[in-house]
């Protein structure tokens, strides 16, 4: 078990044999640079290495017409002139005598990856392939793509494994140009939209249809038709220069709410790293670490069954780093912190300055991530319970340790002093362990930790843990307390701690650093809280340490607690300390220990929508907080025009 890495050296054989500036960026070095970097980082040897096999012609027939497959087969025998002539019949395509072999290996690698993950031979994996696939159509090559690797993988998963809400989410990490060339299979060209059982999500560089391939059906209002209504989700980026905060906001406010509601059995990722900084096609600014976070978030779906298949990515350095980050996340390593302040871009001009300043279409139109997010949420709202009744907000290396080591008794006693509940016995012993864990996590000697605390000592232990964290050098400490726990009364409201409390009361922001949210009963309410409130605050706050506390009457089901802890690994580089009340659920600590170790959380079960009252209360709270916490925003400024 572990992470599968699929590759075959033969896929470096195809290359451009004539002069064509449009195609010159799709080079064999793309694969060798990525692989070389994985080796150098010691990541390759941590993976289950599998040599790619060729897809059979029957398998290619799952998606492509026999005539088209025969035509590509025929290119093996063509001379350079004939190859060039044929290539010219397609948009941004070149053929080489080895193209057919490479393209069959690329498709075969995607199929094999699905096999590895669905048979349980691997938890997840990445196929490093070329040519890429997502622009290719039933009977046409397009945009460097010959066979549609991810579409074939989706069909194969459905057909051979009978998945129901099956294949997946296909999230392409690539705004590059993509529009939706691969639409014929997974996207909006397929008549009724995405295939039944497939939720298709795509983000792409669009620029109000001024960017290749200039398709109207790549826009946010293309949501699929008939049975497929709502299963095609397009997030067009209308401005270049989108960065980490924009991608993260798109995940938290669009992709993940829909994906959790869909509850897939498998996640297929068309991983185009032309969405990363430096790429000549994408012209975006997401840094490689962002891909670790995005991958980690996807791993919370489908029991962690994530299959990523390389698509674009033409800046060799950026590509190689981003691939490493993706593999690191697949392996379960904590994601490195995202550089810079996380604020999604709101107005034209906030991005796209500096090195990309040359490309500025339509300077009179507002363009921003928030407007794109707003328009896709509006277009999808009729089809997804998790987006309904949200108008209120729209207006406005390490492992886990079960700690045996403890701080010296006198030290524990000194820290316990103000609290009678910690004076002696088991409570004091546990406190000694917790103090030691806080230090070790902050020092980077231990990744994360979990401790069961005797119920009467929980509140006091939490209070001391916060103080110890701040004393030991944490600049910002996030505390997510679930259940009837009061914020320590004399904790300074100085921005060094952010206190989020789920409890059975009114939603209230007592300050920007002290927020109380009612405990949601429905899975939909829980997901809105976590994706729509807790994570945006957590990512905006950028804590050094996250304390998650499950206290009296916390009311979370085990899968909910597991998901909460899983997702909170993101914002603090995995530095999570979970404090769990000892009674009455001893098995919960075990589940949390496993997710802290990088195991996927169990499914939340059937989706149930939040009550309108709950959604309204949450929306109101978000509205109050979003002035300070920009990652909460899902819309442009009032008065901004949203073009459709
Ligand atoms: N300046 C993939 O990323 N370029 N294909 C169009 C725009 C075509 C991209 C010219 C790029 C195809 C897999």
Residue 340 or 58, more confident: 58
Residues 358 and 438 in one domain: no
pLDDT averaged over every residue in the chain: 87
What tokens does 118 get?
């669905």
Q: Which domain holds residue 131?
A: 3-383
Is the pLDDT confidence value at 535 over 70?
Answer: yes
Is the pLDDT confidence value at 389 over 80?
Answer: no
- Closest residue by Cα to atom 5, ligand 1, is 143
Among 383, 411, 439, give the residue marking a domain's end. Answer: 383
Q: What is the pLDDT of residues 269-320, one digit of tens each?
A: 999 999 999 999 999 999 999 999 999 999 999 999 999 999 999 999 999 9
In this structure, are residues 414 and 471 in contact, taking their beta carbons and an 8 Å threshold? no
Domain membership of residue 531 (yes or no) is: yes
Q: Which atom of ligand 1 is nearest to the CA of 25?
A: 11
Phi/psi region, residue 520 (left: phi>0; alpha: psi -120 to 50; beta: rest), is beta
Q: Which atom of ligand 1 is nearest to the CA of 143?
A: 12
Q: What is the pLDDT of residues 488-527, one digit of tens each?
A: 988 998 999 999 999 877 888 989 999 999 888 889 999 9
CATH number, domain containing residue 493: 3.40.800.20
Residues 481 and 590 in one domain: yes
Confidence at residue 194, expressed as pLDDT on a 0 to 100 scale: 57
Residues 327 and 451 in one domain: no
- Please work out whether the CB of residue 207 comes within 6 Å of at least one atom of ligand 1: no
* d(CA 642, ligand 1 centre) in Å: 27
Domain membership of residue 371 (yes or no) is: yes
* d(CA 503, ligand 1 centre) in Å: 50
Sign of the C-alpha dihedral, residues 376, 394, 572, 484? negative
Is the pLDDT confidence value at 400 over 90?
Answer: no
Percent of the chain, pLDDT > 70? 87
Q: Which atom of ligand 1 is nearest to the CA of 145?
A: 13
- Closest residue by Cα to atom 7, ligand 1, is 212
Per DSSP, the three-state class of 536 is helix
Beta bridge partners of 501: 481, 516
Residues 345 and 447 in one domain: no
Half-sphere exposure of 358 (CA within 13 A, CB side): 3
What tokens does 309 get?
């298949």
Q: In what order do the strands lie in the sheet with 306-310?
A: 48-51, 3-7, 124-127, 306-310, 267-271, 168-172, 198-205, 232-237
Residues 433 and 310 in one domain: no
- Name, of 176-180, 400-404, 634-638, the range with top average pLDDT: 634-638
- Closest residue by Cα to atom 11, ligand 1, is 143
Q: Which atom of ligand 1 is nearest to the CA of 213?
A: 6
Domain membership of residue 510 (yes or no) is: yes
Beta bridge partners of 374: none
For 71-162, strand residue ranges (E) read: 124-127
- Please work out whether the CB of residue 22 comes within 6 Å of at least one atom of ligand 1: yes
Q: What is the pLDDT of residues 211-267, one digit of tens each?
A: 999 988 999 999 998 888 999 999 999 989 899 999 999 999 999 999 999 999 999
Phi/psi region, residue 143 (left: phi>0; alpha: psi -120 to 50; beta: rest), is left
Is the pLDDT confidence value at 639 over 60?
Answer: no
Residue 135 bears catalytic tag: yes
Residues 19 and 149 in one domain: yes
Residues 436 and 372 in one domain: no
Q: Which of 8, 96, 123, 135 is catalytic?
A: 135
Domain membership of residue 557 (yes or no) is: yes
* d(CA 357, ligand 1 centre) in Å: 20
Beta bridge partners of 402: none
Residues 495 and 454 in one domain: yes
Confidence at residue 584, expressed as pLDDT on a 0 to 100 scale: 63
- Please work out whether the CB of residue 212 comes within 6 Å of at least one atom of ligand 1: yes
- Please work out whether the CB of residue 143 comes within 6 Å of at least one atom of ligand 1: yes
Domain membership of residue 364 (yes or no) is: yes
Domain membership of residue 608 (yes or no) is: no
pLDDT band of 158, cuts 50, 70, 90: confident
* d(CA 464, ligand 1 centre) in Å: 55
Tell which residue, 95, 93, 125, 120, has the closest CA to residue 110: 125
Crossing angle for the helix pair 99-118 and 66-74, to the nearest 10 degrees: 130
408-422 average pLDDT score? 90
Residue 276: in which H helix or E strand, if any?
none
pLDDT band of 392, cuts 50, 70, 90: very low
- Please work out whether the CB of residue 312 comes within 6 Å of at least one atom of ligand 1: yes
- Please work out whether the CB of residue 502 comes within 6 Å of at least one atom of ligand 1: no
* d(CA 28, ligand 1 centre) in Å: 16
Domain membership of residue 110 (yes or no) is: yes
- Please work out whether the CB of residue 132 comes within 6 Å of at least one atom of ligand 1: yes
Domain membership of residue 618 (yes or no) is: no
In this structure, are residues 199 and 230 in contact, taking their beta carbons and an 8 Å threshold? no
Exposed/middle/buried for residue 620 (C-beta within 10 Å: 0-12, 13-18, 19+)? middle
Residue 422: cis peptide before it, omega within 30 degrees of 0 = no
Residues 333 and 308 in one domain: yes
Residues 253 and 342 in one domain: yes
Residues 92 and 226 in one domain: yes
Q: Count up the domains in the chain and report the number.
A: 2
* d(CA 33, ligand 1 centre) in Å: 20
What is the best residue among 25, 131, 142, 143 to mutate for testing ligand 1's pocket, by most ligand atoms within 8 Å of CB? 143
Residues 222 and 79 in one domain: yes
C-alpha gyration radius of the chain: 25
In this structure, are residues 537 and 629 in contact, taking their beta carbons and an 8 Å threshold? yes
Confidence at residue 436, expressed as pLDDT on a 0 to 100 scale: 93
Cα angle 4, 33, 100 (rounded to 5 degrees) comes to 70
Among 601, 618, 638, give the residue marking a domain's end. Answer: 601
Among 567, 584, 601, give the residue marking a domain's end. Answer: 601
For 137-276, strand residue ranges (E) read: 168-172, 198-205, 232-237, 267-271
Q: What is the pLDDT of residues 40-92, one digit of tens each?
A: 999 999 999 999 999 999 999 999 999 999 999 999 999 999 999 999 999 99
- In angstroms, the CA 316 to CA 467 distance is 45
């Amino acid at each position: 078990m572990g992470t599968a890495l699929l590759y075959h050296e033969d896929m470096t054989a195809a290359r451009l044999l004539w002069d064509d500036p449009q195609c010159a960026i799709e080079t064999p070095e793309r694969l060798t640079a990525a692989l070389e970097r994985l080796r150098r980082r010691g990541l390759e040897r941590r993976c289950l290495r599998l040599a790619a096999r060729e897809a059979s012609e029957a398998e290619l027939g799952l998606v492509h017409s026999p005539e088209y497959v025969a035509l590509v087969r025929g290119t093996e025998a063509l001379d350079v002139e004939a190859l060039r002539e044929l290539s010219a019949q397609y948009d941004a395509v070149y053929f080489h005598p080895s193209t057919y072999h490479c393209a069959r290996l690329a498709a075969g690698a995607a199929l094999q990856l699905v096999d590895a993950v669905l048979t349980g031979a691997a938890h997840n994996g990445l196929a490093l392939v070329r040519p890429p696939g997502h622009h290719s159509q039933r009977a046409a090559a397009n945009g460097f793509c010959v066979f549609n690797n991810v579409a074939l993988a989706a069909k194969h998963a459905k057909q051979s494994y009978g998945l129901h809400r099956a294949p997946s989410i296909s999230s392409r990490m690539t705004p590059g140009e993509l529009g939706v060339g691969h639409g014929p299979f997974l996207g909006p060209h397929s008549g009724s939209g995405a295939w039944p059982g497939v939720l298709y999500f795509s983000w792409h560089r669009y620029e109000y249809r001024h960017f290749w391939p200039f398709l109207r059906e790549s826009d946010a209002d293309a949501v699929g038709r008939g049975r497929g209504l709502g299963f095609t989700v397009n997030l067009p980026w209308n401005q270049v220069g989108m960065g980490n905060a924009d991608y993260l906001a798109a995940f938290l406010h669009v992709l993940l709410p829909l994906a959790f509601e869909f509850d897939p059995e498998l996640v297929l990722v068309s991983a185009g790293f032309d969405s990363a900084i430096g790429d000549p096609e994408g012209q975006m600014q997401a840094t490689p670490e962002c891909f670790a976070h995005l991958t980690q978030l996807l791993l919370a779906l489908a029991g962690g069954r994530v299959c990523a298949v390389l698509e674009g990515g033409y800046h060799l350095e950026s590509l190689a780093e981003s691939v490493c980050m993706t593999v690191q996340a697949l392996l379960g390593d904590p994601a490195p912190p995202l550089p810079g302040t996380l604020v999604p871009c709101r107005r034209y001009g906030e991005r796209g300055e500096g090195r990309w300043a040359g490309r500025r279409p339509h300077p009179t139109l507002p363009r921003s991530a928030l407007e794109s997010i707003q328009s896709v949420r509006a277009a999808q709202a009729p089809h997804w319970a998790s987006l309904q009744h949200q108008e209120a907000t729209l207006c406005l290396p390490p492992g886990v340790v079960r700690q045996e080591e403890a701080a010296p008794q006198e030290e524990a006693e000194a820290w316990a002093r103000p609290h009678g509940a910690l004076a002696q016995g088991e409570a004091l012993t546990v406190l000694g362990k917790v103090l030691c864990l806080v230090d070790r996590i902050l020092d980077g000697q231990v990744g994360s930790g979990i401790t069961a605390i005797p119920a009467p000592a929980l509140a006091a232990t939490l209070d001391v843990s916060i103080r110890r964290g701040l004393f030991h050098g944490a600049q910002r400490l996030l505390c997510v307390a679930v259940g009837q726990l009061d914020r320590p009364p004399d904790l300074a409201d100085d921005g060094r701690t952010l206190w989020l409390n789920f409890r059975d009361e009114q939603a209230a922001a007592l300050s920007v650093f002290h927020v109380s949210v009612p405990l949601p009963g429905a899975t939909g309410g829980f997901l809105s809280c976590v994706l729509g409130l807790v994570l945006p605050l957590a990512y905006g706050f950028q804590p050094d340490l996250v304390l998650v506390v499950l206290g009296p009457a916390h009311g979370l089901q085990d899968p909910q607690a597991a998901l909460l802890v899983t997702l909170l690994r993101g914002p603090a580089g995995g530095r999570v300390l979970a404090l769990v009340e000892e009674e009455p659920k001893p098995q919960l600590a075990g589940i949390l220990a496993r997710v802290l170790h990088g195991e996927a959380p169990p499914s939340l079960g059937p989706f149930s929508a939040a009550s309108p009252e709950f959604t309204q209360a949450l929306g109101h709270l978000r509205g109050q907080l979003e002035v300070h916490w920009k990652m909460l925003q899902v819309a442009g400024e009032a008065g901004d025009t949203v073009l459709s």
